[in-house]
């Protein structure tokens, strides 16, 4: 379920969207008991298959063929910016009205509230890397999309998103101001992977993973100490967890005596590839041999 809030000229439009795994009668009965204030009627529901729900969430018209999902146009692009927050204490009606006024003033940025609780709150925050469970009322998504290409348009839309984000500071989680990983937001920190890689990673890592960040760093350090797999906001290895060089350097003599360096990690990948090719060759050979025997026997 999500509450979609869109600013207009002098008001904010609120739309409740939800997906229920069951039929309309079951949903109306359930919400009639647990959320009677919504006043849900069967006419408000539309029953559909799973693939039809994928089209619905993607804002296609009802009845659109799933074949549209195969329609790729590399010459067309839409641009977007997403940011996120978590609300842990209720926002009063008077403060919500301040939020609506700010949204109308800015005029472009939508908000999406996703309620938390239920089964999510029963799972301990330390059970999985995702930590945003008990204690969070709902997630906030800041959403804006545009079609014009160019740095000026990007600056215009992203600046407005950051304005609303700053305005929401008193109403959301603190120390850290938590964020949702799937809305990757480079505003909250970027890692250059230099000498201060761990410190830079901790800035965004605590917001995405809270107390699970250092546990993920230990896993990263053990599995990929050389940080071969990385992006601007990936988990960094911790230099103090592994004082040895990340990968011994193997010197190979290639091309008539010229020296070449190959890290042990890359060598392992090469050896693994050779083992796979050997297995594949043996598999094909056995299929060919037994195929020949089968033909001979049948003939």
Cβ atoms of 233 and 186 within 8 Å: the answer is yes
Burial category of 203 from C-beta neighbours within 10 Å (exposed 0-12, middle 13-18, buried 19 and up): middle
Three-class SS of residue 50? helix
**Pick the catalytic residue: 60, 86, 183, 208?**
183
Residue 119's Cβ-side half-sphere holds a number of Cα atoms within 13 Å equal to: 0
| Separation CA 197–CA 34 (nearest Å) | 48
Residue 183 appears among annotated catalytic residues: yes
Q: Which residues pair with 143 in a beta bridge?
A: 82, 110
Beta strands, E only, the chain: 2-7, 12-17, 79-87, 110-115, 138-146, 249-254, 258-263
Catalytic residue positions, numbered: 183
């Amino acid at each position: 379920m999500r509450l979609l809030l869109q600013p207009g000229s002098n008001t904010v439009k609120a739309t409740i969207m939800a997906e229920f795994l069951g039929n309309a009668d079951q949903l109306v009965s359930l919400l009639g008991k647990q959320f009677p204030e919504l006043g849900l009627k069967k006419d408000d529901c539309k029953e559909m298959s799973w693939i039809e729900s994928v089209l619905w969430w993607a804002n296609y018209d009802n009845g659109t063929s799933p074949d549209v999902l195969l329609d790729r146009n590399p010459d067309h692009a839409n641009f977007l910016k997403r940011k996120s927050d978590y609300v842990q204490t209720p926002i009063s009606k008077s403060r919500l009205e301040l939020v609506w006024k700010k949204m109308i003033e800015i005029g472009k940025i939508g908000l999406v509230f996703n309620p938390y609780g239920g089964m999510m709150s029963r799972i301990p925050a330390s059970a999985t890397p995702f930590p945003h469970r008990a204690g969070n009322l709902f997630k906030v998504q800041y959403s804006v999309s545009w079609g014009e290409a160019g740095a000026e348009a990007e600056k215009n839309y992203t600046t407005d998103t950051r304005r609303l984000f700053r305005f929401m500071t008193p109403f959301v989680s603190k120390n850290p101001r938590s964020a949702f990983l799937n809305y990757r937001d480079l505003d909250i920190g970027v890692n250059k992977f230099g000498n201060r890689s761990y410190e830079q990673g901790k800035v965004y890592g605590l917001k995405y993973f809270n107390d699970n960040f250092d546990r993920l760093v230990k896993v990263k350090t053990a599995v990929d100490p050389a940080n071969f797999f990385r992006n601007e906001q990936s988990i960094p290895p911790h230099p103090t967890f592994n004082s040895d060089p990340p990968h011994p350097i193997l010197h190979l003599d290639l091309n008539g005596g010229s020296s070449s360096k190959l890290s042990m990690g890359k060598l392992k990948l090469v050896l693994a590839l050779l083992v796979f090719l050997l297995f594949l060759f043996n598999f094909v050979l056995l299929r060919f041999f037994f195929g020949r025997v089968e033909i001979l026997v049948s003939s």
